[in-house]
Each structure stands twice: as C-alpha cells, then as structure tokens.
Amino acid sequence: RVSRDTPRASPMDEEEDLASQLGPRTSQVPDTDVSRLKRAYVNEKCAPEILPFEHDLMRRVTESVDAQESTVAASRAAAGSGASSATDDLTAHVYHAELNRIRFLMRAYYRARLRKIETHAVHCLKEPDVLERLSDLEQRYASDYANIVEEHFSSVLGQMPEGYESMVQQIIEEDGAFDMVPEPDADAHVFCRVREDRGDVMLDPDDPENTMDLERDDILMIRYRLIKKLLEDEAVDLM
C-alpha cells in the first residue's frame, strides 16, 4: 500500500495509527436489565430532579436476583456435605460476587432517589407531575418525611410572630406563593454522554440558531434543562 516514494510516516498516519492502537472508547454494552439498572442508577444520581421510577425494570431485577439466589443456594445444598469441586466453589464465588454488584446498584438507585425526595419532599407532594414519578412506597415516604419535618419545625415556627409561622410561605397570605419550598434546579450543570448519532440538534428553544452536532460518545457539560428531553428519549446518559 505504501509506495517507495511515499515518506515513511506522515503525521496524519501516525495519528491514525495511534488512534487504532488506542482502540474503542468503551466495550460493547449488552442491553440487559443489569445494564439498564446501572444506567438508571447513574442517571438518577446525576440528575438534579427526580426521574420517573423504573417500575418494570426494578420488578424484573428483583425477581431475577431472587431466582438467581435460589438457584445458587439450591446447587450449594445439592453439592451437600460431599466434596464440591474447586470449580463449583469458583462458580458459587462468581455468582455471589455478581449478585453483590447488582444488589449494590439496586440499593444505590433507591438511595439516590430518597435523597432527592427528602430534599424536595414538599415539592414532590405539591406537584402532581412530580408525585407520579414516585413509586407508591416513595410517595408514602415523601408524605411521612414532610410531616416529620413540619412537626420538627413547628417547635420553632410556633414562636414566630403571627403570619410568619408557615413552613412553606415566608409570609402567610391567601394565594401567596409557596416560596419556602425547595425545588430542584433545572439549570444545574450536568455531564452527559451521547448514546447515538443525532446530527445537528437545537438544544435551547430560546436560542434556536445555536445547534450542536451530537455524535455517539460525545461528552457534554451543559445545563440539565437543555438535555432533559434527550435524556427522556434515551439519546444521552448522564455521567
């Protein structure tokens, strides 16, 4: 391919050689419930607002984990008091290790959500489109938590001058704004990774001329608000 007259290696060739030596940015990720759980967890951890609860995914993962645990326990029991081979021990060790990883992801997912529910408990209860993103248990949790916090604050708020005792309004007024309720900040900056080629995308409706060319594996640092729709469409993942 390289003729005698061609210089040995141009800077361009070296660059290409290096790029091919470095290989792909990531391994191919199989689309399994485990990989979806991992993405759901990381997205939840990084998003400033609470995302819709993954009912079906969590149900399936819980079932898979329970089934796997039973299988492993059963085969351990079947091996019984007789000598189990080294390979059996290794296999059990590997299954156990993977189950630990998955259980960690599940707990981390629930914990990431609970943290946000606690921070924005009243907001969750107040906004129906936010409340519906919570699971039934989480909705109960939000309600219980808000009540406990209110009870806690009332010991101080009760001492405030009349009109200033509310937890949700600075000054109690009819039709007044709930200006003491913390809300998630949709303009917080997040990092996200593009999952598929999207070409030129208009991200900000207030600035329609400004488009970004989005290619798979691109990493953006950007206001959450501008990529929220892409996240919902699974075109990007947060990181």
Partner 1 sequence: SIITWERYRDDRAVVSTQEVHFLAEDEHLDVVPNFSLQSLHLLGGTYGPFRPQMKTSVPMWLAMLLKKQGKCSVVPPRWLDVATLKQVIESERADDVFQGLPHHYIEIATDLCKHAREDLEDWNLTFDLVDTIRAVRHNKIQAGLRSLDENALKGVKLTNMSAMEVSVIRPFMSNALDNFLEGSITAE
Residues that bind partner 1 (CB under 8 A): 14-15, 18-19, 21-30, 32-35, 38, 42, 45-46, 64-65, 68, 86-87, 90-91, 93-95, 97-99, 101-102, 104, 108, 111, 115, 119, 185, 187-191, 203-204, 207, 210, 212, 217-223, 226, 239
- For the chain, what is the HEC assignment? CCCCCCCCCCHHHHHHHHHHHHCCCCCCCCCCHHHHHHHHHHHHHHCCCCCCCCHHHHHHHHHHHHHHHHHHHHHHHHHCCCCCCHHHHHHHHHHHHHHHHHHHHHHHHHHHHHHHHHHCHHHHHHCHHHHCCCCHHHHHHHHHHHHHHHHHHHHHHCCCCCCCCCCCCCCCCCCCCCCCCCCCCCCCEEEEEECCCCEEEECCCCCCCCEEEECCCCEEEEEHHHHHHHHHCCCEEEC
- Smallest gap from Cβ 160 to partner 1, in A, equals 23
Nearer to partner 1, 79 or 239 (CB): 239
For residue 222, the minimal CB distance to partner 1 (Å) is 4
Q: Closest distance between partner 1 and the C-beta of residue 174, in Å?
A: 30
Give the count of beta carbons closer than 10 Å to the beta carbon of residue 48. 20
Nearer to partner 1, 81 or 87 (CB): 87
Q: How far is the CB of 239 from partner 1 (least distance, A)?
A: 6
Q: How far is the CB of 175 from partner 1 (least distance, A)?
A: 27
Measured CA angle at 98 (ends 88, 137), to 5 deg: 135
Question: Rounded to the nearest whole angstrom, what is the least distance from the CB of residue 218 to partner 1 in the complex?
Answer: 6
Of 7 and 24, which has the nearer Cβ to partner 1?
24
Instruction: Name which of 133 and 223 has its Cβ closer to partner 1.
Output: 223
Q: Which is nearer to partner 1, 23 or 161 (CB)?
A: 23
Which residue, 51 or 220, has its beta carbon nearer to partner 1? 220
